[in-house]
Amino acid sequence: MKKYSVFAIAREAMRGHKGWEEQWTSPEPKKEYDVIIVGAGGHGLATAYYLATEHGITNIAVLEKGWLGGGNTGRNTTIIRSNYLYDESAGIYDHALKLWDGLSQELNYNVMYSARGVMMLAHNVHDVRVFKRHIHANRLNGIDNEWLTPEQAKEFCPPLNISKEARYPVMGAALQRRGGTARHDAVAWGYARGASARGVHIIQNCEVTGIKRAANGAVSGVETTRGFIGAKKIGVVAAGHSSVIMNMAGVRMPLESYPLQALVSEPIKPVVPCVVMSNTVHAYISQSDKGELVIGAGTDQYVSYSQTGGLHILQHTLDAICEMFPIFTRMKMLRSWGGIVDVTPDRSPILAKTPVQGLYVNCGWGTGGFKATPGSGNVFAHTIAKDDPHPINAPFTLERFRTGRLIDEAAAAAVAH
Amino acid sequence: MLLIRCPYCEEERPELEFRNAGEAHIARPTNIAAESDDDFEKFFFIRANPKGVIYERWRHIHGCARFFNAVRDTVTDKFIMTYKAGEPKPAKLPGAAK
């Protein structure tokens, strides 16, 4: 792997940019690997990268049915934060946030992590109390989160409407300054480049159609559209399709898959300096470096794998955006799209061993997995390499739905994650 | 937005009038206190989440307010049929191969 640097740019400028190499290779699949990762999204590629860099396992294949980063990694609204209520969630999301800080240097790839601040608006007395409780819980966990009055919120984000005449007036806000955004595609590409340089095979257009198990019940490999590929360890990181893949090994999951939509506006001059979220009116918005407003909507109410959702969901979100930012009422929206998110009953992820020996699962990130990408890959790699969870992901078991040890962010965070 | 046929009102109405109520044909245990942890997990948390034909409950909340069941394809989001609550899971779906 040739290092990217200002010298590389100068060198290539001198010789007509003929020396840039492919960022990752596309080898033919081998007959057998030490580890197979199902799904080449951010989480899967990060898992492969950390298996290679931290655990010395490089005989890995990352199988992807479509193209690299083409699922939810390329479809989210790129928001990063770690101000979750419960200790377990705080642990894993802040582990990720610490890795975001410095990820561009680590990968030698600009993931454009921008700690521009994530501001969550409170619109009623209940919101105010809940957010203040969050702030105190976060501070006990060493996570920055602070309370802003409506005036302070407007100072931090000038286009915000804090009029008392609003249908849902802003009564304050919780601000995590370390939160922000990153370039979602670059995260997948950076991890793919780093993993590929260490010998990991990234195999696109290779759909897993079955999981084979040996006589003792342990996994022995996967059937794919490009033939059988053997492996003693399989990590399933398939987002919305996790329950489909796990069913192939006979494991039924506490998951339901829903469409989640997002949209972007025409590009405009910089106007929204941070990320603004509102759980109560349900909208979140930030501005990309290209100038587009990036807006996240809610999930549809029914199980679907269609990667499209209802128009009324987008309308509902835009109603809220226009209420929060009246200056955007005449903006034109350019594109909208949908992704399929796998949601657990307690809205916390599952990163764990499974009842099947050699089968590991990283799923259930629901509507908010992007922010966790580096941390999730990091601890999942540990789980696969050691056949034992890292202390950070130890609480995120599959068994918690039997034992009752839920991590109930669903109740804590209401809707937006 | 989906168009959903309510089997009680006997007409197609926009999705906004309805609430999805999750997977259908999950029988509540008759003696829930005696359920094992495994069985309770299956009843309460484990879902089929199929990529393909799903049997699900809907409620016509802004209409007749009654629950009913639907069969839908989760890849196309097309409804195959709807039927009244309490009716058994259809043995054969209209349009399915013989």
Query: Per residue in A304-316, pLDDT tens?
Result: 999 999 999 999 9
pLDDT, one tens digit per residue, over A235-257 is 999 999 999 999 999 999 999 99
Give the count of Cβ contacts less than 8 A between chain A and B.
63
- pLDDT on residue A55: 98
- Residue B93, in any domain of the structure: no
Of A244, A252, A310, Cβ closest to residue B51: A244
Residue B24 lies in a domain: yes
Q: What is the pLDDT of residues A21-59, one digit of tens each?
A: 999 999 999 999 999 999 999 999 999 999 999 999 999
Query: Is B12 contained in some domain?
Result: yes
Distance from CA of A395 to the nearest CA of B (A): 17
Question: What are the chain A neighbours of B48 within 8 Å (beta carbons)?
Answer: 252
When the candidates are 3.10.129.10, 3.40.50.970, 3.90.1150.10, 3.30.9.10, the CATH number that belongs to A118-177+257-343 is: 3.30.9.10
CATH of the domain at B13: 3.30.2270.10
B17, part of any domain: yes
Name the architecture of domain A25-82+84-109+184-254+346-413.
Answer: 3-Layer(bba) Sandwich (3.50)
Is there a domain that residue B90 lies in? no
B40, B42, B49 member nearest A257 (Cβ): B49
Q: HEC states along chain A?
A: CCCCCHHHHHHHHHCCCCCCCCCCCCCCCCCEEEEEEECCCHHHHHHHHHHHHHCCCCCEEEECCCCCCCCHHHCCCCEECCCCCCHHHHHHHHHHHHHHCCHHHHHCCCCCCECCCEEEEECCHHHHHHHHHHHHHHHHCCCCCEEECHHHHHHHCCCCCCCCCCCCCCCEEEEECCCEECCHHHHHHHHHHHHHHCCCEEECCCCEEEEEECCCCCEEEEEECCEEEEEEEEEECCHHHHHHHHHHCCCCCCCEEEEEEEEEECCCCCCCCCEEEECCCCEEEEECCCCCEEEEEEECCCCCCCCCCCHHHHHHHHHHHHHHCHHHCCCCEEEEEEEEEEECCCCCCEEEECCCCCEEEEECCCCCCHHHHHHHHHHHHHHHHHCCCCCCCCCCCCCHHHHCCCCCHHHHHCCCC
List every span in chain A annotated with CATH 3.50.50.60. Answer: 25-82+84-109+184-254+346-413
Band of pLDDT at residue A417, cut at 50, 70 and 90: very low
How much is the average pLDDT of A70-92?
A: 96
Beta-carbon separation of A256 and B49 below 8 A: yes
The answer to whether residue B45 sits within a structural domain is yes
Q: CB distance B74–A244 less than 8 Å?
A: no
Contact B76 A306 (CB under 8 A): yes
Please report which confidence band the pLDDT of residue A412 belongs to, taking 50, 70 and 90 as the band edges.
low
Judged against a pLDDT cut of 70, whether residue A415 lies above it is answered with no
Which of B37, B56, B76 comes nearest A302 by C-beta? B56
- Interface contact flag, B74 A304, Cβ < 8 Å: yes
For the entire predicted model, the pTM comes to 0.95
CA distance, residue B80 to nearest chain A CA (Å): 14
Structural domain total, chain B: 1
Range of the domain at B23: 3-84
Question: Is residue B92 one of the residues assigned to a domain?
Answer: no
Cβ distance of B51 and A305 shorter than 8 Å: yes
CATH 3.30.9.10 range(s) for chain A read 118-177+257-343
B56–A303 C-beta distance less than 8 A? yes
